[in-house]
Amino acid sequence: MDTLIQIIIATFLVSLISFVGIIALANKNILNKFLVTIIAFASGALIGSAFLHLIPEASEKLSYFSVSSLVLSGFVLFFLIEKGLHWRHCHEGKCKIHPFSYLILAGDTVHNFLDGLIIAASFIISPAIGLTSTIAIALHEIPQEIGDFGVLIYGGMKKRKALFLNFLVALTAVLGGVLGFFLKSVNSISTFILPVAAGGFIYIASSDLLPELKKEIRFRKSLLDVIIFLIGIALMLIL
């Protein structure tokens, strides 16, 4: 049971990273000023995570056709979810909270659950590998959580609600860790979930976030957004 306790502690600590958004709560003016810049960063982080982490990892165990089919399935699935949310919440006109806010939470739920599975599998091998994996995942989560928080605020969600929901979603890492410990076969399922999550991330970035950046017509600000977008991708590559 020592291994299970280590897994729970590690996944819970990773979940606490969702509170990095509290930095934004400390200064509303800074948040409002740099919100579109955060959107640019989040777009790059999502694209980078999909193409540099999730898809390559799935490709190690699945054929090219299987991976591409699952990525496409994830893309279509998130499109259908967004259409459903749009009809449910916005069919009378203006949306109070844009559907892509809920998509970010849905995508993060899958992503954090997979992180929990990875941490569990690592601790089962050895505590040293588990610690290394936890640190790597934590470093990966910091920029992504900042970006996700910015997307939720941009989508119309209240700051404290965004912070609370982000933390709730982050706790699915603990669930993934516990299931990964008791049901070791669950880890094989993650191979099929990875490309679906990648398709979801690609959909959110390409259909909801990047179009927002295209609204900026000032050259210097547009150039800055492109640079921040590329930094988001580069950071995912480094991590």
pLDDT in tens, 24-57: 555 656 656 676 787 888 788 888 888 988 888 8
Has residue 91 got a pLDDT over 60? no
CA dist 112 to 126, 138, 162, Å?
A: 21, 11, 16
97: exposed, middle or buried (Cβ count in 10 Å: 0-12, 13-18, 19+): middle
Q: 28 lies in a domain?
A: no
pLDDT of residue 86: 59
Residue with tokens 């970035």: 205
What is the pLDDT of the chain when averaged over all its residues?
79
Q: 127 lies in a domain?
A: yes
Residue 14 CA, distance from chain mean position:
13
Q: Return the half-sphere exposure (C-beta side, CA atoms, 13 A cut-off) of residue 177.
A: 28
Q: 67 lies in a domain?
A: yes
Q: 25 lies in a domain?
A: no
Domain count, the chain: 1
Model confidence pTM above 0.75? no
Task: pLDDT band for 69, please (50, 70, 90 cuts).
Answer: very high
pLDDT of residue 215: 78
Asked if 49 contacts 201 with a C-beta cutoff of 8 angstroms, the reply is yes
Cα–Cα distance, 9 to 166 (Å, whole number): 19
Q: 210 lies in a domain?
A: yes
Has residue 171 got a pLDDT over 80? yes
In which element (H, E) is residue 159 found? helix 159-170
Residue 162 CA, distance from chain mean position:
14
Q: 20 lies in a domain?
A: no
Q: Which domain holds residue 103?
A: 2-10+36-238
